[in-house]
Structure 1
Amino acid sequence: MPAPKITVPLPPREVVVRPRPQGMLPSPGTDTDDPLVTVLTAPAGFGKTTLLSGWVREMRRVSAPGYVAWMNIDESDDDPTTLSLGILAAVSRAVTAGNGESLPQQRISESALVAQLAEIVDRQHDRVWLVLDDIHHLRHPEAQHVLTMVLRLMPRQLRLVLSGRREPALELHRLRVAGRVREIRAADLAFARDQAERAVSRLGVRASGAELDRLMTISEGWPAAVRLAALALGETGDGAGALEVLVSSDRTVTDYLDSEVLSGLTEPELQILRATSVCEEFGAGLAVALSGREDAPAVLEGLERFDGLVSRTGEDQYRLHPFVRAYLRAHLRRHAPSSYGKLHAIAGHWFADAGDAVAAARNAVPAADTELSARVVSEFGPGLVLRGDLALLRDLADTLPASAAGRPQVGLVLVLLELTGGERAGAELRLAGLTEALEACDEPRVRDLEVIVRTHWARLTGHVVPAMTELDERLPRMSGTDLLVLALVNRGTAFFWLGRHEGAARDLEQAMRMATAHDYPFAVLHCLSQLSGVATANGDFPRMRTLAEQALEFAGQHGPALRAACCFPYTIAAWAAYQFLESEKARTMAARGIELLGPNNDRTVEMCALSVREVIEFEYGEDPHAALVRLRRHWSTVGRTEPVQPALVAYEAPVEQRMALRLGRADWAAEVERRASTWLGDSGDVQLLRARMHFHYGRVASARAQLEKINQGEVRCHVVSTRIEAYLLTTLLAHRAGDARAADRALRAALELAGPRRAFRPFYDAGPEIRKLLVPQIGRLGRLDQFVAELVEAIPAAARPADTAELTPREVQLLRELPSLATIEEIAATLYVSVNTVKTHLRNVYRKLGVTSRREAVIMARQRGLL
């Protein structure tokens, strides 16, 4: 027997040291009850031989008890006699250190082999490990029968380790049931990400995080694939994109796969692998359709023995290893391009018949089959939009000629795609071009889709009322889950923009239930986002925050495809943090919302994101004046006849008014009230704005009259914070008038509304004066005591410069004179008031700005944008 046949191979020069699969191979020096048989199965290049040879050398290095016999099996051993003699030679050499008795050279029977093997092994006090490497070369039934007999009559001290690319065709089922077989699979031998990174680094290749991620995706940790891909990456230097084509262009990769991985397969196996490589996953029935072979199911079962090459993903479902699949697809495209397209067309129609929209679309794109593409767009396009697969649908749309894109249902889906992606101009042109085709079409599904598309367009532009009428009429009669979900999403969103919160919540919750049941993640995210907006409008701040965080968490779980749709939940999360006085989180969330603001967002979402960002920047940023200027600029773009979400105006207007008054711009504050009345009419929200202006100018009686209408419920308030702020302003007026009972009554009413909603912001904005009135209430309000204690903790005891009371017009006028070199007397003469009046106003200015000198007042005023 040639010595190399029964010698442990030397390790390769470059080895990534990694731990043995936990519990699979024994540790040296242990006497645990090891399995009778250990089986390693994986394609070429998974490091089976390296792992085993390292284990043997470690056993010998530490002088572990026992003997290890090694046999490298090749094609010549696919003969019972040659195999038997090789086994005896390997075992004899191991136990006698190469000085054993001579072995028979003639043909011996399996029973004689077992008898001689037992005679050699049973003389030993320690175990004998027999490693048979590359057993996939044993194909002949008689050769396989040799191992079967060894397994059946195995000597007591013998242990087998079988390693190969294909699971051996041996009778292991009984041993498996008895727990005497341990198996190491390709997944156990695959590189982890850190091991792959070390392997790439040792090759002198610098891979970015994205490149390494892509490399792991295509190789799934297959060590040889990692090495080959890294080498190709180092040669091309094209970044992660090179990995997409390396298996079809790099000669080293293709030669390795042809000679080492695929060479041992039969022609039927190769034929089925090539045909099914066009699909990420496939069933046995589809394999028959693609390959034209009725024996495909049986062949696939045999291929499953190549662990890691073909794997079962479910009942009657299979997948190829991505690395091998990429090579086979490239081989098809290069050598049989027409077959490549036909195979994708077969798969596309198969998946379409099965209702698998994503798989049908993915196959329709490379199929270059117009009818298949048109079918997938018309049948599954709305569902793909609801899933968020916009890029896939866009790729599919690019394959359609103008004649197919002009079909009514296909064209409407493309309009919906463009609207969802923010391409409004293109959507309008396409919709206009479909006019004649739509007029000639009387199919109910087409008409339903047209109404949905027009409602979606109206939502984006703010003109939702006309489109809503027909949608209301058709929605109860719609069939098809995809259209029904689209209709509910659009109507629910439109209801929210129109301030019809109950209807919005009803439609959005129903749409979300249906979208969840049918795996439409984009629709689920939209519903969660809009429901967080409904909670905001209803003043339910805890639910507002919960829903916004749920939306962001949901988007994070579904990858980057949904991130672009997160502008609104980030904005709501920012508003929630602002309400709960969380400055850093508010700024972070607002900034992320602005980053994702794009043309695909509704007009109201855009105004929400911009307004929230400026409000938070005014509160916590470095230039409050610039923030107010930007906020005014944003709202100047909204036409007075353009419908705006009422709650948005009701929340934004009081904040903007307070911002203007704090900067001494009473004219801007008055402008806010006039603008808000355009959309809110003579509501309680507008009454509050008027009351605050009266309060600012010292017209106490007029302020009380306006507040009384709100407090008595005579006028409707669009948001609950309007009523809370009205009660708080009533509290301050009563307190300053010395009416403690009225102040206490109004304060308690404000707390009753704010407590369950955790509405901190109105009290915080009211400042230290409200805090002083809250302190005596602790311990007297029962269930509200904890909320009051938190308010007292949150509100500063003394006014900060940014939180001071608003400057009066006269104080602002005086402040603007301070940077000059004029004396107090000269300023008094300029303003036509007495010197004492100027001094009184000046003391008030110092107090409100938190300064003690004229120079400090000028500096602080400039920091706050007052000058």
Structure 2
Amino acid sequence: MGISPPLVLAQLAVPPLPPATIARPRLTEAVMRGLQGPVTLVCGPAGSGKTVLVSSAVGGTRVAWVSVEREHNEPARLWEALQRALAPEPGTPTAELTYAPGPAFGVALVNALATLPEQAVLLLDDVHALRSRASLAWLSFLVLHAPPTVRLLFSSRSDPVLPLHLLRVHGSLTEIRSDLLAFTEDEAVELFAAHGVTLDPEQVVALHRRTEGWAAGLRLAALTLQRRDDPARFVTEFAGDDRAVADYLVAEALKTETPRRRAFLLRTSIVAGRMCAELTHAISGDPNSETILEELARTNGFVVPLDAQGRWFRLHRLFAELLNAMARRELAGELPALHRRAALWFAGAGEPWNALDHAVAADEPEIVGALMLAHWVELSADALRLQPFLDAAAGPAALEPLVRLRRARVAGDLAAAETAVTEVAPALESVVRLDVAITAFWAGADERAEQELAEALALAVAGDVHWAAAEAAAHLALHAALRSGPVAAGPLLTEARRLACGRSVAALDAAAGTCALFAGHPAEAAALLAAARTAALDAGLIELLEDPSRAAPGFAAIEALLIDALSDDDPRVADAAIGAALAQAEATGHRSVFKTLGERGADLLQRQVRHGTSHAALAAELLTLSDAAQAPKRCEPLTEREQAVLRLLPSPLSAQEIASELSISRNTVKTHLRSLYRKLDAADRRDAVDNARAQGLLPRSIGRSGSVHPVG
């Protein structure tokens, strides 16, 4: 054929199985079932056992094997390898079909293969190495038009650039992916036994959980255990920075990454368990975070999608541990700043627990304080844990009843609160009295609440527990305002401000704004909120408090947003604020704060209903309208491209495949999806299809089953 360099015959041989390989019938049977159809894909990260699986599955079968190398991106070279692999004696030339650029070659190839005297399996190992359009073009044609004489079997670290979506639609593709390739605990026991290693069941479970069933990780652990006489210690210490594991991961998962993607992985490994584009952008500063995450999930194998929409990802546990260890070495001076960015992002996303973890890791006491101020209820158990007096007075054992007490407070369950309080250490009396008092307040036990709040305030002041004094005073003021109007709350708030420190002053001013809001005085509420922000600025907390919509879901966030909505004359600002308040209420279930909004508030809610916003149903509920159910609301008009995307949503196509069908990028598809979900008031793909069908934008049933598939 006149093509150089000469063909490496080893590329055409089925590789021998490694020592101590165990039989995995569930997988070999899955491959053999796949070979009853035209195309089978075995896809998983490096070291997941793909080559071992296909080698064992096709043993004894006539198979044309090609181990794909970089040179096969030259289309003639790839065809030469396949043709020689198909020969009666692999490696010897057969009647030649000469490669020629253009679509005619694909037709000639399919016709030639159709004349094979017996059925053949064409197996391309490591097909992810193919990148050239020319090689992929004729291979794609073969995939779509494979004659009955040929069965195609691919192994790959990532989805090859082939028309897989069309094969799925036609039911012509069998897929064996990472979740199936992962070893079960029983298979792990067999693997260790094959290496002469015997472990206790608990040790096997620990290693299986640590490796997530990753074949290479388990095999490397087994090889190391052969040389160790302390298996218990090894199992305890085994992690991603184990020398053998680290060397493998660096060579297979990091060495081929670009410097930009490597830096991205190191910096964002601090949120390895759950990451999205917005979060990783905030941490790394890389504006292309979304594209990088998607590329890593598609090509790296150790970046795992967490949802069908491709928004959230995580790192494989061992890979994350390796990156964490490398980050500690290479980015030691930068880590506090990275944790600080993560803390601020999580705080803004309404995830105070994650924010607190990163704020502590960043050694940022001001952010910790701001979180405590903004998230009294959600973080109270953590706040108590961080209070020095708790460790001195009662120790960590006091946390369990305190957590149960706080849960009772959130639920307004006075009986449960009184039960929990009997188990709390006496040294924490000011804390527990406060929780019982607030529980009584929200349970409607007014007289009991007033008495308990007064006692809690006195105890907190005596014990110099400023945050508890501020909270007790705020609720006493709120109690007075609800009973007698905002004027009655004034003396309580003034006295509390005199006793409190900077953070508590901000909290008390915010509480005073709440009193005014409940009493129907939005202008006064707005002034008090401004004072609260000033106090927060004085305390160095303005980063988290200057935008109420960044607060955590809860009463405080909703109240602040409602104050903004009621006090702003700009209808766009007011609508945005009331919409954000409704979103918080939707997420938390809080409703009572909307009950006293007056005529102005009712107008704002009516606008939400009239305009058919994403929270129109909740707004209608809060208005407690007595009219018959409203006529179905039509969504905003869809653009032509949004309509095209919508028509494909009921199909099994992934986001990438929809992008291919419409000749647009995956990012553009995701932009259209976000717009569609908003316009259709949908939480996910299924909701969007259901709502579109209800509004006549889609027919009632599409395809044979009418099923809806997640976007991947």
Question: What TM-score do the two structures reach when normalised by structure 2?
Answer: 0.53
DSSP-derived class of the 2:121 partner? strand
Structure 2 counterpart of 1:114, one-letter code: G
Provide the residue aligned with 1:250 in structure 2. Answer: 242
Provide the residue aligned with 1:37 in structure 2. Answer: 39
**1:345 Cα offset (Å):** 2.6
Provide the residue aligned with 1:684 in structure 2. Answer: none
**Does residue 347 of structure 1 match 2:349?**
no
**1:39 Cα offset (Å):** 1.0
Residue number among 354, 369, 383 corresponding to 2:364 in the alignment = 369
**Does residue 262 of structure 1 match 2:262?**
no
73 and 419 in structure 1: CA distance in 2 versus 1, 3 angstrom threshold: closer
**Does residue 10 of structure 1 match 2:16?**
yes
**Does residue 47 of structure 1 match 2:39?**
no
Once residues 254 and 463 of structure 1 are traced to their aligned partners in structure 2, the CA distance between those partners, rounded to angstroms, is: 49
**1:109 Cα offset (Å):** 2.4
294 and 463 in structure 1: CA distance in 2 versus 1, 3 angstrom threshold: closer
Instruction: Determine if contact 1:47/1:189 at 8 Å carries over to the other structure.
Output: yes
DSSP-derived class of the 1:311 partner? strand
Provide the residue aligned with 1:298 in structure 2. Answer: 291
Once residues 369 and 225 of structure 2 are traced to their aligned partners in structure 1, the CA distance between those partners, rounded to angstroms, is: 38
Once residues 454 and 230 of structure 1 are traced to their aligned partners in structure 2, the CA distance between those partners, rounded to angstroms, is: 54
Deviation per CA, 1:295-331, whole angstroms, max 9, x where unpaired?
1112222222247422221241111111111111111
Once residues 371 and 204 of structure 2 are traced to their aligned partners in structure 1, the CA distance between those partners, rounded to angstroms, is: 34
Instruction: Determine if contact 2:337/2:362 at 8 Å carries over to the other structure.
Output: yes
Instruction: Determine if contact 1:36/1:160 at 8 Å carries over to the other structure.
Output: yes
Structure 1 residues 367-446: aligned runs within 5 Å: 367-376=362-371, 383=378, 397=386, 405=387, 418=396, 420-421=398-399
Instruction: Determine if contact 2:394/2:425 at 8 Å carries over to the other structure.
Output: no
Structure 1 counterpart of 2:262, one-letter code: L
Structure 1 counterpart of 2:294, one-letter code: E
**1:167 Cα offset (Å):** 0.9
Once residues 422 and 184 of structure 1 are traced to their aligned partners in structure 2, the CA distance between those partners, rounded to angstroms, is: 45
53 and 230 in structure 1: CA distance in 2 versus 1, 3 angstrom threshold: closer
Structure 1 counterpart of 2:219, one-letter code: R
Structure 1 counterpart of 2:283, one-letter code: L
**1:366 Cα offset (Å):** 3.4
Once residues 35 and 224 of structure 2 are traced to their aligned partners in structure 1, the CA distance between those partners, rounded to angstroms, is: 45
Deviation per CA, 1:271-292, whole angstroms, max 9, x where unpaired?
3322222111012110111221
**1:221 Cα offset (Å):** 0.3
Instruction: Determine if contact 2:281/2:288 at 8 Å carries over to the other structure.
Output: yes
Instruction: Determine if contact 1:458/1:467 at 8 Å carries over to the other structure.
Output: no
Question: What TM-score do the two structures reach when normalised by structure 1?
Answer: 0.44
DSSP-derived class of the 1:43 partner? coil
Structure 2 counterpart of 1:255, one-letter code: D
Deviation per CA, 1:417-445, whole angstroms, max 9, x where unpaired?
74624899xxxxxxxxxxxxxxxxxxxx9
173 and 470 in structure 1: CA distance in 2 versus 1, 3 angstrom threshold: closer
Identity of aligned residues (%): 28
Provide the residue aligned with 2:327 in structure 1. Answer: 332
Provide the residue aligned with 1:735 in structure 2. Answer: none
Instruction: Determine if contact 1:68/1:131 at 8 Å carries over to the other structure.
Output: yes
Provide the residue aligned with 1:289 in structure 2. Answer: 282
Residue number among 194, 208, 216 corresponding to 1:216 in the alignment = 208
Once residues 308 and 139 of structure 1 are traced to their aligned partners in structure 2, the CA distance between those partners, rounded to angstroms, is: 17
**1:133 Cα offset (Å):** 0.4
Structure 1: where are the runs of 5+ without partners? Answer: 60-66, 398-404, 425-444, 492-867
371 and 271 in structure 1: CA distance in 2 versus 1, 3 angstrom threshold: same
Provide the residue aligned with 1:596 in structure 2. Answer: none
**1:48 Cα offset (Å):** 0.7
Provide the residue aligned with 2:109 in structure 1. Answer: 117
Structure 2 counterpart of 1:282, one-letter code: M
Q: RMSD over aligned Cα, in angstroms?
A: 4.1
Instruction: Determine if contact 1:361/1:376 at 8 Å carries over to the other structure.
Output: yes
Once residues 457 and 320 of structure 1 are traced to their aligned partners in structure 2, the CA distance between those partners, rounded to angstroms, is: 42
**Does residue 25 of structure 1 match 2:31?**
yes
Once residues 52 and 16 of structure 1 are traced to their aligned partners in structure 2, the CA distance between those partners, rounded to angstroms, is: 13
DSSP-derived class of the 2:110 partner? helix
**Does residue 134 of structure 1 match 2:120?**
no
Instruction: Determine if contact 2:28/2:56 at 8 Å carries over to the other structure.
Output: no
**1:170 Cα offset (Å):** 1.5
Once residues 471 and 9 of structure 1 are traced to their aligned partners in structure 2, the CA distance between those partners, rounded to angstroms, is: 68
Provide the residue aligned with 1:85 in structure 2. Answer: 80
288 and 244 in structure 1: CA distance in 2 versus 1, 3 angstrom threshold: farther
Once residues 175 and 309 of structure 1 are traced to their aligned partners in structure 2, the CA distance between those partners, rounded to angstroms, is: 26
Provide the residue aligned with 1:273 in structure 2. Answer: 265
How many residue pairs match? The answer is 427
Residue number among 58, 64, 67 corresponding to 1:69 in the alignment = 64
- Which structure has the larger Rg? 1
**1:183 Cα offset (Å):** 0.9
Provide the residue aligned with 2:160 in structure 1. Answer: 168
Structure 2 counterpart of 1:250, one-letter code: D
Deviates more, 1:357-366 or 1:290-299: 357-366
Instruction: Determine if contact 1:419/1:457 at 8 Å carries over to the other structure.
Output: no
470 and 175 in structure 1: CA distance in 2 versus 1, 3 angstrom threshold: closer
467 and 307 in structure 1: CA distance in 2 versus 1, 3 angstrom threshold: closer
Structure 2 counterpart of 1:184, one-letter code: I
**1:224 Cα offset (Å):** 0.3
Instruction: Determine if contact 2:46/2:301 at 8 Å carries over to the other structure.
Output: no
Structure 1 residues 513-552: aligned runs within 5 Å: none
**1:201 Cα offset (Å):** 3.2
**1:206 Cα offset (Å):** 4.1
**Does residue 149 of structure 1 match 2:141?**
yes
Once residues 272 and 256 of structure 1 are traced to their aligned partners in structure 2, the CA distance between those partners, rounded to angstroms, is: 20
Deviates more, 1:18-27 or 1:79-88: 18-27
Once residues 195 and 201 of structure 1 are traced to their aligned partners in structure 2, the CA distance between those partners, rounded to angstroms, is: 10
Once residues 363 and 157 of structure 1 are traced to their aligned partners in structure 2, the CA distance between those partners, rounded to angstroms, is: 59
307 and 417 in structure 1: CA distance in 2 versus 1, 3 angstrom threshold: farther
**1:353 Cα offset (Å):** 2.4
Instruction: Determine if contact 1:415/1:453 at 8 Å carries over to the other structure.
Output: no
Deviation per CA, 1:533-570, whole angstroms, max 9, x where unpaired?
xxxxxxxxxxxxxxxxxxxxxxxxxxxxxxxxxxxxxx
**1:464 Cα offset (Å):** 12
Instruction: Determine if contact 1:39/1:183 at 8 Å carries over to the other structure.
Output: yes
Once residues 396 and 242 of structure 2 are traced to their aligned partners in structure 1, the CA distance between those partners, rounded to angstroms, is: 39
Instruction: Determine if contact 1:41/1:307 at 8 Å carries over to the other structure.
Output: no
57 and 298 in structure 1: CA distance in 2 versus 1, 3 angstrom threshold: same
Deviation per CA, 1:576-628, whole angstroms, max 9, x where unpaired?
xxxxxxxxxxxxxxxxxxxxxxxxxxxxxxxxxxxxxxxxxxxxxxxxxxxxx
**1:4 Cα offset (Å):** 0.9
Instruction: Determine if contact 1:114/1:153 at 8 Å carries over to the other structure.
Output: no
456 and 377 in structure 1: CA distance in 2 versus 1, 3 angstrom threshold: farther
**1:102 Cα offset (Å):** 5.1
Once residues 217 and 381 of structure 1 are traced to their aligned partners in structure 2, the CA distance between those partners, rounded to angstroms, is: 35
Structure 2 counterpart of 1:285, one-letter code: E
DSSP-derived class of the 2:30 partner? coil
Structure 1 residues 413-562: aligned runs within 5 Å: 418=396, 420-421=398-399, 459-460=423-424, 474-477=438-441
Once residues 439 and 312 of structure 2 are traced to their aligned partners in structure 1, the CA distance between those partners, rounded to angstroms, is: 38
Instruction: Determine if contact 1:275/1:291 at 8 Å carries over to the other structure.
Output: yes
Once residues 365 and 330 of structure 1 are traced to their aligned partners in structure 2, the CA distance between those partners, rounded to angstroms, is: 19
